[in-house]
Structure 1
């Protein structure tokens, strides 16, 4: 009995630091945002309860509607691409380049991950400006220059491209670790039976990485809904509202209009939307595993 109580106390002490951090920096801020979303609050004065006024205002706000659509477009444009690219590159490295060259490729692709998003945004803004290197290359190939960040049709594409370039290295490492955990005996048995590398990929690698794929898709979705610094630095949400995202709308409402209550309401909308997407992903991957 004493030993069980001692083990229970040790277990509580073991998880207590993580529990306190999650409670302080995740749970409590979410609860506070939920409360402030029902108030009129400008930081300088105490919050005043206004009920559902912020949510009613949100349904009529064109910026919120545009930012929600843009965030969904950004998520659809980045998550599948970076998931596919990271999986394919990881599979190729694991199959063909396990030596120093493979380690060099992984390190090179991971460099954008550790680089600051502000630095990445500044770099790509320079590369993609009308007189940047990308347009110089196009002109050298007798192709017309493109206003990458100034056109409504190309601005979102450019931001998505840079986001994929920055994140693919992170998910590559996750996939590579997952592939390394697959027993090599399965591949050897498949090759004895005459399976090609592509058949091994679809019959062995892909089914064995379902849990890893769920993690990659979930993280990618959450990161896509939280995108801010890259968009803020590259386009500022423009041209017009072409790249306006939910987090950028929250930032403008909170720190430019000092409407913390309304910003909290938009934040709760984003929170609920991410929860809904995550629930759909769980159902999808659960059905795939059955």
Structure 2
């Protein structure tokens, strides 16, 4: 005798198991999407407010003042693009821009190359306490105040009682007025910048090298490749995104240099070390030309923004 299948007990809609991929999570998350968005906005609102006040608002105000004649002592008057037209004719601005470019060309390649080489040596040969000590010692200038570093190096390269000239005198070389000549002054400031920044970029390179697979080095060793060949064929190509980041960061920092130059040379001798930020500072607070200084600041902003966009494009082509 055939028996019919026993029907499943009837369930209320609330007792039925949820359908879909979310399972219980879909049943529990019943808040409207708009409410969740407002909740997330509440979490980021404090940081967003600080970003608007500290970053966005000054940029907008600077863009407005760059189109005005503003001396800080009166109300700004609209002049349109006159400040930018004068920038193209201002020889001191072009000189400051050129010297900033030279400073960047000297410092960025040196600090990038030295950081890469030192990081490669530490990563491949000294993964021990000595390597950790070297990394820590090279990182000390990074956390030191730029004013302190400028003051110390100004004493070290002093023309009369500087340590550098004292050492040169021991080997029979006449003292050099390092900060008293335009050519050597800019070079010295750039080298001090390299000394200060190399520890920061060294850590970035070192972290990147730890991600390079050891199998590549072992396979190349079996093929007869030496350390130098491994460095050029494995390390350098593998660290291309890191190198792009280091170069872009170094370029942005170089165009923004102020405190080190101000401490060591004050823009001298004869304006030979005046950078773009120093020109902005002098125009705004010495000559009381805030509108013209804002125009120079917007040019600097355009340069930094362009460098950042180039970084994103190059990193996207990884």
TM-score (norm 1): 0.92
Query: RMSD across aligned C-alpha pairs, in angstroms?
Result: 2.0
Which residue among 121, 124, 135 is the counterpart of 1:106?
135
Answer yes or no: is 1:255 the counterpart of 2:285: yes
Q: Offset of 1:19 from its aligned partner?
A: 3.2
1:61 aligns with 2:101: no
Distance 2:152 2:305 in 1: 33
Q: Which 4+ residue blocks in structure 1 deviate beyond 6 angstroms? A: none
Instruction: Give the equivalent residue in structure 1 for 2:263.
Output: 233
Structure 1 equivalent of residue 123 of structure 2: 94
The 3 A distance-change label for structure 1 pair 101 and 7 is farther
1:27 and 2:43 correspond:
no
CA contact (8 A) 2:252 2:307 kept: no
Distance 1:10 1:208 in 2: 41
Report deviation, 1:183: 2.2
> Hey, what does 1:150 align to over in structure 2?
180
Q: CA deviation at 1:215?
A: 1.2
Distance change in 2, residues 1:75/1:8 (3 Å):
same
Task: Give the whole-Å Cα distance in 2 for the aligned partners of 1:9 and 1:190.
Answer: 55
TM alignment of 1:43-58, pairs within 5 A: 43-58=72-87
1:38 aligns with one of 67, 80, 85: 67
2:148 aligned to which of 119, 126, 129 = 119
Which residue of the partner structure matches residue 273 of structure 1?
Answer: 303
Partner of 1:216: 246
Q: Which has the higher helix share?
A: 1
Shift in alpha-carbon separation, 1:94–1:31, aligned structure 2, 3 A: same
Paired residues, number? 288
Partner Cα distance (2:248, 2:295) in 1 = 23
Report the CA distance shift for 1:219/1:262 in structure 2 as closer, same or farther (over 3 A).
same
| Higher gyration radius (CA) | 2
Q: Which structure has the higher relative contact order (CA within 8 Å, separation 6+)? A: 1
Q: CA deviation at 1:234?
A: 0.6
1:147-183 Cα offsets, whole Å, 9 max, x none, are: 1000122011101010100110011011111111222
Distance of 2:103 and 2:157 partners within structure 1 = 18
* 1:172 pairs with 2:199: no
Q: 1:204 to 1:9 in 2, by over 3 A?
A: farther
Aligned-partner Cα distance in 2 for 1:78–1:14: 41
Distance 2:42 2:218 in 1: 46
Unaligned 5+ runs, structure 2? 1-28
